[in-house]
Amino acid sequence: MAEEVKLFGIWGSPFSRKVEIALKMKGVEYEYIEEELGNMSPLLLKYNPIHKKVPVLVHNGKPIAESVIIIEYIDETWKHNPILPQDPYERAVARFWAKFIDEKCLPALWNSTWSKGKDREAAIEEASQHLNTLENELKDKKFFGGEEIGLVDIVASFVGFWFGALQEVSGLELLTEEKVPKLCKWSYEFVNHSVIKENLPSRDKLVAYLSARFADASK
């Protein structure tokens, strides 16, 4: 049976880009459907009625939501070029860091840009602690996954790419050579990796979009 793979995403969404990276790493052909923030299509709402968010992957008519769950599904369905480690313990460790990044780092990094007053100060403090934690976890590895990009690297693309754009817009200086040199090097290697580079949004377009949002939020 011919595979039918559809991805509902938004160009600037780190979550849908992560799924695109996983599909590209596997060489899976897919149809991409662009959604609009604040105006999701009836089809997207039908496929993800609980969260009403992108990304949604639809494989042979069956929808799957939540980016990390989708990436694990992709890894289990197309087994070549593994994204998660094969060893059960290593898999558990990768899932631990992916969860830490999604649940702890992302909110702190996001709030360090967008929150106001005391909340923002607290978020900046928390974000810098989490960046240090990631710096220590990288040790002397090229990628979190070792020599190759794995689940943790993909989930951390918000740190490696989106947060750089947010820093440029907000003037924050948390992810710098001085403060977290290993993480900066990782970020450089990551965004310049051939598969990643082709599946990230244009930095100029993202910075323009975020600048407009930042100017609005600062009014």
Ligand X SMILES: N[C@@H](CCC(=O)N[C@@H](CS)C(=O)NCC(=O)O)C(=O)O
DSSP H helices in the chain: 14-26, 42-47, 67-77, 88-100, 106-114, 117-138, 151-155, 157, 163-170, 181-192, 194-197, 203-217
Residues 61-80 that bind ligand X (CB under 6 A): 66-68
Cα angle 58, 144, 12; round to 5: 45
CB-nearest residue to ligand X: 53
Minimum CB separation of residue 140 from ligand X in Å reads 29
Region near ligand X per CB under 6 A, out of 50-58, 122-130, 172-180, 187-195: 50-58
Strands 56-59 and 5-9: antiparallel
- CB-nearer residue toward ligand X: 45 or 92: 45
Residue 210 lies near ligand X (rule: CB under 6 A): no
Binder among 7, 54, 83, 109 for ligand X (CB under 6 A): 54
Closer of 15 and 97 to ligand X (Cβ): 15
Query: Residue 179 is inside which H or E element, if any?
Result: none
- 7, 8, 13, 162: which one binds ligand X (CB under 6 A): 13
CA separation for the pair 15, 27 (Å, rounded): 19
Q: Which stretch binds ligand X (CB under 6 A): 7-15, 83-91, 118-126, 132-140?
A: 7-15
Closest separation in Å from C-beta 1 to ligand X: 27
Enter the tokens of residue 194.
């051939």
Our CB check for ligand X shows the closer of 20 and 66 to be 66
